[in-house]
Structure 1
Amino acid sequence: MSLTIQWLTLGAMIMSGIGMGILFDGYRVLSSEFKFPRWTLSCLDIAYWIASAILVFRMLYVSNYGEVRAYVFIGLAVGAILYYWLFSSFTTTLTKWLIQAIKWLLSGIIRMFQLLIVKPLLFLWMVVLYILNLGTKFTIGIGKIMLQLVRPILKLVLWMLSPITKPLLRWLEPYGKSGMERLKQLWLAAAKRLPSWLRRK
């Protein structure tokens, strides 16, 4: 293996060490900000090491076709040390800022959704309910007025039909005098009480 490839591999491993540091700090900040349950931390640790291994072996394969040498581990160590010395605090701060910015953006989207969609729909629903209630009251009022207007007409019709109804009642009287009388009384009582019952509504 030529010296150029060796130096290229060393540089790739240093970059891989820096990348592993970035992944670790990002993972650490995310787990702290979102308060993951403890039982998930082991799974997240495994996922981190799998991602790191894929990154390292990919870089190693590109640089020297996957040959492992001592300087590979030296490069990883140097990259990790350089990262934690120079970039760790910056990465942590940037990650926290990005998380807060995403939270703020999501909160703004939710507020806009409530303001532009949820509240207008609720207002429209209240208007519909008010109109339906008003229509019901209007219909009941019209019904009461119609009953008041129709009542004299019913009395007139009954008076006009009395030459027919009275003989008919007298003819039916032997078959059920007490039952017919009670039915007549109930009918008259209901007719008298109907307007007062409607006014209470």
Structure 2
Amino acid sequence: MQWMTMAVMLLSGLGMGTVFDGYRVVSNELKFPRWWLPVLDVIYWMAAALVVFRALYASNNGEVRAYVFIGLAFGMILYYFLLSKIVIVLVKWLIGAVRKLVAFVLKCLDLLIVKPIKLIYKLIVVILGFGSALTIFLFKIVLQLFRPFWRLLAWLLRPAVRPLWRWLSPYVTGWRIRERLAGFGRIIARWRSKWFRR
């Protein structure tokens, strides 16, 4: 049981060294704020103590003897002399691989989703701008074509409209129709300039 307990403690020491180096490299690579480091150290040592006690309890029912500390210390020393550099290089490589994978995924999302959406949006804006310009152009042509008929109709209806206009002119002046139409025209002009600027 003593030899098994020493072996378990040796493996626990190796595991503690591995986790500590991994945590140290990750904190350096990800540039954690300095005030986070003491908090993370406390969390690491609490977790390590719980894991070691659990392993000790599973091997010899939690009996603390001198060989327990010897096995734990020997495992940590063995790790730092044999495996520390390998683990550090491996963790750095894993962090670099994860960063490259994340950059590749973001680039794929940009190419497959973001850029097509932007292209569709610009295409819709161009189509709407062209459609509005074409509609206004056709409307002007229709107005020009119907202008002689409107003038003829106005000339025919003038004798009947004049008395009606004299009667309605005070009300029309109070309604400020011209100012409202002018404001509406300015809104349309701003809307058109906005579409064509894009």
The TM-score normalised by the length of structure 2 is 0.80
Distance 1:48 1:162, change over 3 A: closer
2:91 paired residue among 92, 95, 120: 95
1:73-112 alignment runs, 5 A limit: 73-112=69-108
Q: Secondary structure at the match of 2:63?
A: coil
1:191: which partner in 2? none
Alpha-carbon displacement from aligned partner over 1:53-82 (angstroms, at most 9, x marks no partner):
112111101100101000000000110111
Partner of 2:45: 49
Shift of residue 163 of structure 1?
5.0
Unaligned ranges ≥5, structure 2? 171-177, 179-188, 194-198
Q: Among residues 64, 70, 94, which one is paired with 1:68 in the alignment?
A: 64
Q: Distance in 1 between matches of 2:101 and 2:9?
A: 37
Could you give the per-residue CA deviations for residues 110-164 of structure 1, whole angstroms, max 9, x where no partner exists? 0001000000000000000001101110111011111101210011112323454
Report the Cα distance in structure 2 between the residues aligned to 1:165 and 1:59, rounded to whole angstroms: 105
Distance 1:96 1:151, change over 3 A: same
Deviation at 1:30, TM superposition (A): 0.8
Tell me which residue corresponds to 1:118: 114
Describe the shift of the 1:162–1:25 C-alpha distance in structure 2 as closer, same or farther (beyond 3 A): closer
Distance 1:165 1:68, change over 3 A: closer
1:127 and 1:121 map into 2 onto residues whose CA distance is 10
Question: What is the total number of aligned residue pairs between the two structures?
Answer: 170
**Residue aligning to 2:148:** 152
- Listed as ranges, the gaps of 5+ residues in structure 1 are 180-186, 188-197
**57 and 165 in structure 1: CA distance in 2 versus 1, 3 angstrom threshold:** closer
Q: Match of 2:71, as an amino acid?
A: G
Larger radius of gyration: 1
User: Separation in 2 of the partners of 1:165 and 1:62?
Assistant: 107
Q: Percent of pairs identical after alignment? A: 50
Q: Which aligned segments of 4 or more residues in structure 1 are displaced greater than 6 angstroms?
A: none
